[in-house]
Structures are given as structure tokens and as C-alpha cells.
Amino acid sequence: MAKVPRISDFIVSMLPPSLSALFEGFDGSQSAYSALARKLEPALAELPEVRVALLASCTVEVVKSFLLVEGARRGLRFTIWCGPYGQIEQQVLDASSEFYSFKPDVVFVLARLEDWAGGELQSFATERDALRQSLVKRAQQVAQALRRHSAASLLWSAYATPRLPGVEGAPGLFGAGSLAAFATILNGETAVAIETVPDARLFDLPAVVALCGAKRWHDERMSFLARMPFSGEGFAVLGASLARAIRALRVPPRKCLVLDLDNTMWGGVIGEAGLGGVKLGDTFPGNAHQALQKAAKALRSRGVLLAIASKNNREEALEAIERHPDMLLRPADFSAMEIHWEDKATSLRRIAKALNIGTDALVFVDDNPAEREWVRQQMPEVAVIELPKSVAGYAAAIEDSEWFDAAVVTQDDAKRAAMMSQQAERQALQESSGSLEDYLAALQMRVQAGPVNAETMERVVQLLAKTNQFNLTTRRHSRADLEQLLGEGAVAVWMRVADKFGDNGLIGVVIGVPEGDVWRVDSLLLSCRVIGRGLETALLGLLARQAASRGGRVLMGEFVPSDRNLQTKDLYARHGFEPKGEDGQFWTKALEPLENFAIPAYLDLSYDE
């Protein structure tokens, strides 16, 4: 019997118990899908709703029950509307259509080449370039029309190679003039064209056909009888794949992959086999363990944090990670490492804490079923990947788990892992340092500062716009505001900081406005990732020197409370300012002598005039 490729059953176990119970005994057969869809439909009220509209050039309504079940399995309640076949453009171009009154969140379009260009493709005499361009344009126009009337996400099906018997000279040859080449180039061009429309992208229908197997996907009988060209099994695979894609659009990926070491990252037990005895390398099973590492490394480059939870002697394990010649992952790739003999739930909680993420952002991979079961019981919010018996399937199991599916991957995502692991190293240093002063000195901070100029203006305005926590007045000056202040004699100073673990970038701003010989600190802010390092003291010191050199005699601090910045309310008191009035808004301190505005000695500071 056809088995639909599906997400790990454990995503079902993460549903509310009343729902996961409905999946009991579900065998994946088509009739079971029908029955389960009927049972689920009235029971999904507590899941978040996604309204899915289906528009196709052929009959696809049969997919509804598969899609509903596959959505529920992933924790989503799909409300599904299926348009009449062959009415893609009619529905999308008409603002008063039934399609728009359904108010879709996600629109799935399936236009088959057989239906849209079957006639033109029938003969090789056709001008195929012109046909391709018109098809690209047709898809883009539908996407643009949709965007005029609706904010719904669009999934446009990439074109599967059409089955047009007799047209191909020799099926199996991927000639430049073949239908396969035509569809491939068309898909590349359509992907680019459709992504010019916000939140519009292709759905990989050819991959669905391949997953099902082309021979089992097509059903000529139903095509002739009911304009329904796919088999029941095909619809089941389509439902699962589409539900997965929709989930990726709606649910952010998990943030951290936590890996076990022995028999997961490498074959064997390091404590018994030793560095030379564990299996890792280019022959089986070492290459399968390496494949798992490769997958983890790829995830890391997309911004997923990596961590280790292993029961081992720490030194022994670390030595293997550092020195084994076939390790693809090294200590620097891990944002947190829990290697000791305590239980794994404890390790997972510590990892989440160290990385400042929720335990519900963790995905746990361990070859030992007992450890998996323990974590599942102790921390039901952690996603536990059910590994297959053989290591050959470990890497694929991570991909198939869907926990790291992300519709959009940005450059910032890619940098995040590097910045987070620097953050974890800083934290480790803090834990090993005695006093705060020792820690700050050990960070070896190099601070650069200077007057805001054309080069730094953009970043400074961005910081003014988005800094909430360490921001004394939360004044959201625009670029024009700031330029005007500077024109009137104000001083604005930016600050960058780098430390032994990496560059934090431009992270601080202070703005002083002269009011006679009193200089008012109009704005003072720091990015939250560098709070607690005495950088605010340096900013005040820098401003004091600028003000004094321009004839200022008094610095007047200002604090304007917001619902986010309360941690800064005693900043001026800490720096020896006297309150002016009862409300704590204004504070003053004489600029003479400037030694009272000392810059912390552990900062290696340079000021660019």
C-alpha cells in the first residue's frame, strides 16, 4: 500500500492530546485520510487557522482531505476553498470573485502546461522562446493582480514536464529542444519573475512528482473521465508536500540543533575507543556520521545554532572535536557545549539559557532511544527527532523532520550563528572570571569613537530608531532632525567596539545640545548586546570632553522613562550627577574637573576627530 512520505510521528505527539489521539490507528491509506479528515475538521478549533485557496487548471478538489490531515499533523488548522477548475485568471483578476470573498491567507496555484500550452507544445514548429516568455508573463500578471487585491502568500506550482505522447523525439534525452529543457528553463524564469511580487514564490511540483514517482503520479483514466490527472496516491503526496510548504511560510524554524556525540556525531564511544578508534571518515559508517555533520554545518551557515549535549568526560570529548582529522565541526561551530554526566534535560535547559532562547526552540538528536524518551517526557516542548535504526538515514532524518524549514533565509540569519557563538564564549569567559572588572579587562575591548559624519549617519539614525532598552530619552530623531541639531551646534558621537571574540559594530551614540554653557544630553543609547561593559561611562566621558572644549561648564543629563528603559533610570546617579527637581528627569554635574568623567581603564579607546 502506498505510504505517504510524512513528517515524524512525534510532531503529532506534540499536538494537544485530544487531537493526537485521533491519529491513533491511522494507516495512511486514502480511505483513512477521508475518515480522519472528517473527524479532525470539527476538532481543530484550538490550532491557528490558515485559510488556503486552491486554484488549478484541472480538478484537484480531492486533495482537500489529504491537505487538511497533513496540516493538522503540523499543528495548523487549514480552512480550504477550492476554486472551479480552469478559472485561475477569472478568479484572481476579478476583485469581486468568490476567491477574494473567501479571504485566503495562502493561495496555491497549479497550472499544468498540458492545460495552459498543450496545443502550442504539440508541435516542434512552435516558437518556443515566445511561448516561454508569454507563460512567464502570464504567471507574473496573475501574481501582480493577486497582490493588488490581497496580501495572501502565493505558491505558484513550478511546471512538471508535460506528458504529450509523440511530441518528444526520444523521451529520456534531455535535448536543448526537449520538453524537459523547456520546462526547466521556464521554471527558472518564472521563479525570478514571480519573486518580483512580494510574498510570491514557486512551489516545487516537479519534486512532488518525483517523490511520488511519475508513473504512479499520472492517472490517465481519471484525467479523461474527470479532468483529474493525478492518482489518489499522487494527491496524498501533494497534500503532504503542500502542507509542509505552507507550514514553512507560517511557522518560523527552530533556532538550535542539539547533538549527541557518541554514535551520533561519530561512530563508537570515545571513552572506550579513543581518538583513533571512533568511526569517522570516508568509508561507512564514518561517512554517514560525517553526512550528519555536513547537514549540521549547512544549517549553521543558515543561522541555526549548534550545541552539544553528551554524557562523556569533557576533556576526552573536546579533544576529539578539536583534533580528530575527519571532524567537520570544530569547537567554534558550537554555541554551547554540555559535556558531563548529568542528565540531558538539564543540559538542554542550560543550553537554552546560555543562548538566551526558549527550550521550545530546541531540536534534539540522539541515537539512544532512552535519552530521546527521557527528553520527550521531561520537556515535551523540545522537538525530538526520531532517528532511523541505521546511521545511513540520520542526516536525512534531520531534513525530513521539517523543524528547520524556513521560507526565507537572509544574510543576517547566516551571521547570527557566528555572533551567537561569540556571545556564548563571552558568557563562558564571564563565568570563569573572578570579578566583573577582571571579566571586562579579559574581554580586551577596543573602542573606536568619533563625531557623527556622512559615513556613520545612516547607522546612527537606525540605532536612534530602534534602540529601546538602553536608551535614556528614546528620541527617534530622523536624519533631517539630527542634521539640523548638528547645524545648530550640537555634538553627536558614535562608538564602535570590538573584543577578543569579534566585532560588535557601531553600537553606541550620545548627542549633546548646548544651552548656554549647559550641555544637555539629548540622547544616550547603547545596543543591548553590549550593555554592562561600562561603555556608557565612556560615552559620557567623550561627550564631556567635547562640551568642555567648546566652553561648556555643566553637563545636564536627561532621563525620559518609557516602558522599556527602566534599567537606565539611575544612570546619572551612578555617575555622580545631582538631581534637578523631584521627577528624576534632569540631572547636572560640573564639567570641571574633567577627571570626574574618567573613561574606564580597561577600554582601549581611540577617538577619530
Partner 1 sequence: MTSDAIQPRLKRVFAQVLGLEEGVISDATAPDIAPQWDSLAHLRLVMAVEEEFGISIPAEQVMDMVSFKIAALMVEELAA
- Give least dist CB 227 to partner 1, A: 11
32 binds partner 1 (CB under 8 A): yes
222 binds partner 1 (CB under 8 A): yes
Options 5, 10, 13, 34; binder of partner 1; rule CB under 8 A? 34
Q: Which long-range contacts (CB under 8 A, 24 or more apart) does 15-24 make?
A: 15/47, 15/72, 15/73, 15/75, 16/46, 18/43, 19/43, 19/44, 19/47, 19/72, 23/73
What is the spatial distance between Cα 83 and Cα 65, in angstroms, rounded to a whole number?
Answer: 15
- Give least dist CB 1 to partner 1, A: 6
Nearer to partner 1, 221 or 574 (CB): 221
Options 228, 306, 383, 538; binder of partner 1; rule CB under 8 A? 228
What is the distance of C-alpha 466 from the center of its chain? 20
Nearer to partner 1, 4 or 142 (CB): 4
224 binds partner 1 (CB under 8 A): yes
Q: Which window, 30-38, 106-114, 296-304, 514-522, contacts partner 1 (CB under 8 A)? A: 30-38
512 binds partner 1 (CB under 8 A): no
What is the spatial distance between Cα 241 and Cα 155, in angstroms, rounded to a whole number?
Answer: 12
Options 8, 30, 157, 401; binder of partner 1; rule CB under 8 A? 30
Nearer to partner 1, 240 or 440 (CB): 240
569 binds partner 1 (CB under 8 A): no
Q: Which window, 61-69, 185-193, 409-417, 492-500, contacts partner 1 (CB under 8 A)? A: 61-69
Nearer to partner 1, 44 or 305 (CB): 44
Closest CA to 402 of 64, 70, 24, 43: 70
Nearer to partner 1, 82 or 183 (CB): 82
Nearer to partner 1, 25 or 516 (CB): 25
Closest CA to 496 of 444, 449, 451: 449
Over the window 178 to 217, marking each residue x when it contacts partner 1 by CB under 8 A and - when it does not, the resulting string is ----------------------------------------
531 binds partner 1 (CB under 8 A): no
Nearer to partner 1, 23 or 586 (CB): 23
Q: What is the residue type of 116?
A: W
Secondary structure of 504-571 in the HEC alphabet?
EEEEEEEEEEEECCEEEEEEEEECHHHCCCCHHHHHHHHHHHHHHHCCCCEEEEECCCCCCCHHHCCH
What is the spatial distance between Cα 155 and Cα 201, in angstroms, rounded to a whole number?
Answer: 5
- Give least dist CB 34 to partner 1, A: 5
**What are residue 151's phi and psi, to 5 degrees?**
-95, 10
Q: What is the residue type of 196?
A: T
- Give least dist CB 215 to partner 1, A: 13
CA torsion sign for 428, 431, 434, 440 is positive
SS3 call for 93: helix
- Contact of 233 with 216, CB cutoff 8 Å: yes
- β-sheet bridge partners, residue 586: 558, 580
CA distances from 502 to 29, 455, 470, 498, 590 (A): 54, 22, 21, 6, 36
Secondary structure E strands in 47-185: 49-56, 77-82, 106-110, 153-157
What is the spatial distance between Cα 428 and Cα 314, in angstroms, rounded to a whole number?
Answer: 15
232 binds partner 1 (CB under 8 A): yes
41 binds partner 1 (CB under 8 A): no
Closest CA to 63 of 132, 4, 131: 4
Q: Which window, 190-198, 222-230, 304-312, 340-348, contacts partner 1 (CB under 8 A)? A: 222-230
Nearer to partner 1, 221 or 569 (CB): 221
Options 105, 168, 233, 402; binder of partner 1; rule CB under 8 A? 233
423 binds partner 1 (CB under 8 A): no
- Give least dist CB 2 to partner 1, A: 6
What is the spatial distance between Cα 529 and Cα 471, in angstroms, rounded to a whole number?
Answer: 13
Options 2, 269, 298, 560; binder of partner 1; rule CB under 8 A? 2
70 binds partner 1 (CB under 8 A): no
Options 3, 9, 38, 373; binder of partner 1; rule CB under 8 A? 38
| Footprint on residues 236-275 left by partner 1 (CB under 8 A) | none
Q: Which window, 58-66, 519-527, 528-536, 541-549, contacts partner 1 (CB under 8 A)? A: 58-66
- Contact of 452 with 483, CB cutoff 8 Å: no
- Give least dist CB 294 to partner 1, A: 37
What is the spatial distance between Cα 324 and Cα 313, in angstroms, rounded to a whole number?
Answer: 16
62 binds partner 1 (CB under 8 A): yes
| List of residues contacting partner 1 (CB under 8 A) | 1-2, 29-32, 34-35, 38, 61-62, 65, 220-222, 224-226, 228, 231-233
